[in-house]
Chain A
Amino acid sequence: MALLDVRDLKTYFKTDDGIVKAVDGVTFSIEKGRTLGIVGESGSGKSVTCLTIMGLNAKRNTITTGEALFKEQDLLGMGMRRLRQIRGNDIAMIFQDPMTSLNPVHKIGNQLTEAVLLHQDVTKKQARARALELLKAVGIPRAERRVDDYPHQFSGGMRQRVMIAMALINDPDLLIADEPTTALDVTTQAQILNLMNKLQEEFGSAIIIITHDLGVVAETADDVLVMYAAEVVEQGPVNQIFSRPHMPYTWGLLGSLPRLDAETERLVQITGQPPSLLRPPSGCRFHPRCPYVMDVCKQTDPPLKPVTGDIDHYAACHLDEETKDREATKLLAGMVAEARTG
């Protein structure tokens, strides 16, 4: 049994203009100690998926269906009291913007101990010791002194380390990181990713990492979920997604990845804008932007089908497998060739 098993998750928001289908039938699961990367453009439903699992969407005007089984208990159906016991204790979350995710009027030490005291029956002193231990583990220099500092006295990268410390302080089984490096500069990004990898080995948590950066996925994830317009369009183990992508959207994402080892003249770009989730396109939602579009794409939405020859690799595309293999090989060969000539 998987640690977290999400089945046919749908999150709809009622707005004045109509119903926005922010997540429309997402299914995935994650095992203990593994890392799942969820990739996609802004507005593809990555964050909402995770906020829904945590029950953090506003209740008003939100419709949620499906199941999210965490240790065989449905997170979506359970009462608030039980959910609160799980939040921050069994499942913890790191948010995108460390500059705004910490409360400016409380000392970071108190924000960390709050998380401990909410879930563990320990004294304030023990909680503080635990907070200090975690601050050291995430590499805050002079942690003994900084524990009584306020968030504004920390840099962005340091604040994200504090957020990570706060998330890991109760030894969660699952850590959800929503674009943990997006707001940080590139060198800090690498440090934070290394830190997360290191801590995963240490604490053994499963991680869901949400990102729009395939580079981050390549560096951290075991499995990948590619989302487009509220749906999963491709999923599988990371090496298969990178070696044999079977969906034109994934090709677009891979092609738009800048590479240091190749002198690419121009990055491939996916033309057009992500579709409105208020009125998504008919058939395959990617068809208006797809260079391989066929008539069938406009009428029927392709289901996620297993990719022959691969294990646990699924893609949603009407193209026949030969074409997909040929185009994927071409794309990757091009990238490799560029790498060689460069």
Chain B
Amino acid sequence: MIRYLIRRLLWALVLFFAVTVVTYVIFFLIPADPAQRACGQLQTQQCLEQAHHFLGLDRPVYVQYGKFFGRLLPFDVNGLAHGHSPIKMPSLGISFANRQQVNSIVGGAAPVTASLVFGGAVTWLLISIPIGILSALRPRSLLDRGAMMFVLIGISAHPVWIGLIFLYLFAFKVHIFPLGEYCNMINPPVGTSCGGPVQWFYHLILPWITFAILFAALYVRMIRANVIETLNEDYVRTARAKGAPESKVMRSHVLRNAMLPVVTMLGMDIALGLGGAIFTENVYDLPGLGRVLRLSLDNFDLPTTQGIVVFGTVAIIAFNLIVDLLYAAIDPRIRLS
């Protein structure tokens, strides 16, 4: 178990390395110069050179990456030489665009994205589990055909389109829901118009549904297929031959097995979403990682982009590990070794 964890964490380190290097490489392949942004109207040679130096862009790429990685380490090698405490907070650096600590940018945006993603996951599970099971139990029924139609629409419709349609219908035409905006659940910052759990919930209903539709569609299809497959398993026939009532057969024998793959998928999808639900956040103007990511790309703001990539990578690695550990607990055939 411990050995398994260590091996997994070492792999995670390799993965982390690869992802961040790729982000750097892509950034420097794009023919764009953050210094031009920094200088704004004053595009003189002198200003550009100063900006380059100030942002550290005049150093070779590998030095820049080395500095980025050094900032991420939780201890400081130089500090030890100078007699300071070697322990420090890992830092994602400072934004090119507004000179804020990227740590605080990501820290401010992450709860928004987390609210959207976890609430969205609950929403899509609430939709897909009952529909998936019912359509598996009555294949080719009206409900099943309706569900398959929903799946097709859900997979085809883009979240941006769904979001715009929802906003137009439910916020602009009929004033049931607000026109975007995010409300903090706890400790709303001074000067914001709304706050508290109720407002938080109310403002997130449309984003949740928008974000959940694609996943709900995919999950309905997956759960339906899993349940149909499990219903044909020999051990389900054994349970019936024992005289178990159909409800018990479903609960104890079919669903327990059919839901195993759902756990894996859920972990991966939540982790993926935590890297930024870009479309939904931008449509509803939610200040989450997805929107920050888009703005940072517009500004050629490498530290912020990289910060969100780091956050997303860590989220994916962490959730994969959680899923693996969870799987070992719920599926007796899997032992971690």
Interface residues of A (CB under 8 A from B): 54, 56, 84-89, 92-93, 95, 97, 100-107, 114-115, 118-119, 150, 152, 163, 166
Complex CA distance for A105 and B237, rounded to whole angstroms: 15
Whether a CB of chain A sits under 8 angstroms from the CB of B243 is yes
Residue of B nearest to A110 (CB): B252
Contact indicator A87/B257 (Cβ below 8 Å): no
Given A84-B243, A84-B245: A105 in contact with B238 (beta carbons within 8 A) = no
Q: By the criterion of a CB under 8 Å from any partner CB, how many residues of chain B are at the interface?
A: 21
Question: Do A103 and B333 have beta carbons less than 8 Å apart?
Answer: no
Are the C-beta atoms of A102 and B241 separated by less than 8 Å? no
Residues of chain A within 8 A of B224, CB atoms compared? none
Interface residues of B (CB under 8 A from A): 233-235, 237-245, 252-253, 256-257, 260, 330-333
Tell me the total A-B contact number using a CB cutoff of 8 A.
74
Q: Are B234 and A106 in contact (CB under 8 A)?
A: no
- Asked if B333 and A152 make an inter-chain contact with CB atoms under 8 angstroms apart, the answer reads yes
Neighbouring A residues of B242 by C-beta, 8 Å: 87-88, 92, 114-115, 118, 166
Residues of B contacting A118 with CB < 8 Å? 242-244
20 interchain pairs, CB-CB under 8 A: A84-B244, A86-B243, A97-B234, A100-B233, A101-B235, A101-B238, A102-B235, A103-B238, A103-B253, A104-B235, A104-B331, A104-B332, A105-B256, A105-B257, A105-B333, A106-B253, A114-B252, A115-B242, A115-B243, A150-B332
- Structural contact, A101 and B234, CB atoms closer than 8 A: yes
Decide if B332 touches A92 in the complex (CB within 8 Å).
Answer: no
Given that A150-B332, A152-B332 are known contacts, is A103 also in contact with B235, CB under 8 Å in the complex?
yes
Nearest 3 CB-CB pairings of A with B: A88-B243, A88-B242, A87-B243
Please report the C-alpha to C-alpha distance between residue A85 and residue B330 in the assembled complex, in whole angstroms.
Answer: 31
Q: In the assembly, what is the distance between CA of A203 and CA of B241, in Å?
A: 19
CA distance A93 to B244 in the complex (A): 13
Q: Which of A95, A104, A107, A152 has the most CB of B within 10 A?
A: A104
**Given A100-B233, A103-B253, A105-B332, does the pair A95, B238 have CB atoms closer than 8 Å?**
yes
Bound CA–CA A87/B238 (angstroms): 10
Q: How far is the CA of A242 from the CA of B234 in the complex (A)?
A: 34
Q: What B residues does A87 contact at CB under 8 A?
A: 240-243
Give the residue of A84, A86, A95 whose beta carbon is less than 8 angstroms from that of B237.
A95
Instruction: For A100, give its contact among B235, B245, B256, B260 (CB under 8 Å).
Output: B235
* Chain B neighbourhood of A88, CB < 8 A: 241-244
A104, B244: Cβ atoms closer than 8 Å: no
CA–CA, A115 to B253, complex, Å? 13
Q: In chain A, what residue has the closest Cβ to B238?
A: A101
